[in-house]
Amino acid sequence: MFGNIVALLGALMLLPALAWGQGAIGTVGKVGCLENPKKISRLEITQPGVYENFLLDGRGAGGNLVKITADHVTVRHCEIYGGSGNAIGVFGANVVIENCRIHHMLSGTFKEQNDAHGIAGRWGSVVIRNCDIGLVSGDCIQFDPDRASSGSVTIERCHLWTGPLPAAAAGFKAGERPGENAVDTKTKADGPRCVLKISRCLMNGFNQPAQIQNAAALNLKENVDAEVRECVFHDNEIALRVRGPGKRGGAHVSVVDCALYETLSGVRAEDKIEQLKLLGLGFGRGVGERIRFVNGKASAGYENKGEHTAPAMELLLQKGFTTP
C-alpha cells in the first residue's frame, strides 16, 4: 500500500516521467528495495559493512528503527516506514546511506506533532545519496539533535518532501501535511564548524498552513558552514531560512546555482547573518518575496550575484543546471 501511495504522490508533484540526464535534479535510477527484500521491523548495526535490501515496517515503534553505532557502514536499497521515531539514527563515522526510501514516520497529531525524523544522528563524515524521504512529522534530515558532535554531512541527489497524506496514518488524518523542514541543522556552540554540503536535491511541500511558524525547506542555523548547490525548491512557505548569530553561533551559507518556484518567501535571512553568498539564484513562477531580512540586514559578508529568471522547472529537473 505504501509503495502505491508514494508513486501517486510523485505523480501529483509533477516529477518528470521522461528519462533523466546525468545532470538531473533529485533521485535517479532504482530507489528503495530490490527484488525479494528481507522483511524486518528493526535493525541495529554494530559492525562495519554493507547492509542492503531490507523492507522495514516499524509497526508504530519509537526510537531509531535503524540504529548505526559502527563506523564504516553502508545502508543501501532499503525501504523504511511506519515508525513513530527516527527511520535511521547515525551514531558512527564514515556512514553512507544510499538509494533508500523513507516515509510515514509519524508521531503525535497534525495539531500536536512530535519529532519523527527521516535520518538523524551525529555529524561525522556522513553521506546521504539518492534517497527519497517524505511524510515524516519531524525533519527529513536533522543533524545533530543532541548538539554533541562535529564533522560533516553530505546530501546529494535526494528528494526531500512532504505533502497532504492521501490516507489517514498514525494520529494524522487524510489531507493533513506533516513535517517541519527538509534539513535542519543543530550543532555544538563551540569548536570547529560542522560542514554541510547539499547538491542536486529537490525539496518541496514544506508549506504546512497554521502548523509551524516559518515552515522552510532548509533551516540552516548555529555553528555550521553550509553550501547548497544546484538544488530546486518548490511549494514551500520559505525555501531557505538562514540564521545569524545566536547563543549557539550562526550559520555561514553559500547558495550556488539554485532555483525557486511557488514559494511565499525565497530566502529569509535572520539576525544579521555574517556570511551569506547567493550566486546564480533563479526565481521561477509563483515566488512572492525573493529575499527578506529579519532582525537586521546581513553584514559585510552578504553577496548576491547573478540573480535571474529560472527556466521551466520540469526541464530543469530533467536536464540539471550545468553539463556534467
Q: What is the pLDDT along the chain (324 residues), one digit of tens a residue?
A: 444 434 434 433 334 333 345 578 999 999 999 999 999 999 999 999 999 999 999 999 999 999 999 999 999 999 999 999 999 999 999 999 999 999 999 999 998 989 999 999 999 999 999 999 999 999 999 999 999 999 999 999 999 999 999 999 999 999 999 999 999 999 998 889 999 999 999 999 999 865 678 899 999 999 999 999 999 999 999 999 999 998 999 999 999 999 999 999 999 999 999 999 999 999 999 999 999 999 998 778 999 999 999 999 999 999 998 744
CA 55 to chain centre: 21
CA 187/CA 223 separation, integer angstroms: 6
- With 0-12 / 13-18 / 19 or more C-beta atoms within 10 angstroms meaning exposed / middle / buried, residue 111 is exposed
Cell of 132: 527519497
Cell of 171: 494520529
CA 265/CA 53 separation, integer angstroms: 39
Cell of 191: 569548536
**Residue 9 has what DSSP assignment?**
H
Residues 39/40/44/47 CA torsion (nearest 10 deg): -30
Cell of 42: 528493526
Output the pTM of the full model: 0.92
User: CA–CA distance from 222 to each of 162, 205, 218 (Å)?
Assistant: 24, 24, 13
**Preceding peptide of 144 cis, ω within 30°:** yes
Domains of the chain, first to last: 2-319 (2.160.20)
Q: CA quadruple 154, 157, 163, 167: dihedral positive or negative?
A: negative
At 39, the amino acid letter reads K
pLDDT, residue 1, reads 41
- H-run or E-run covering 52: strand 49-52
pLDDT, residue 253, reads 98
pLDDT, residue 219, reads 98
Contact by Cβ (8 Å): 88, 117: no
CA 200/CA 212 separation, integer angstroms: 27
Q: CA quadruple 57, 99, 279, 272: dihedral positive or negative?
A: positive
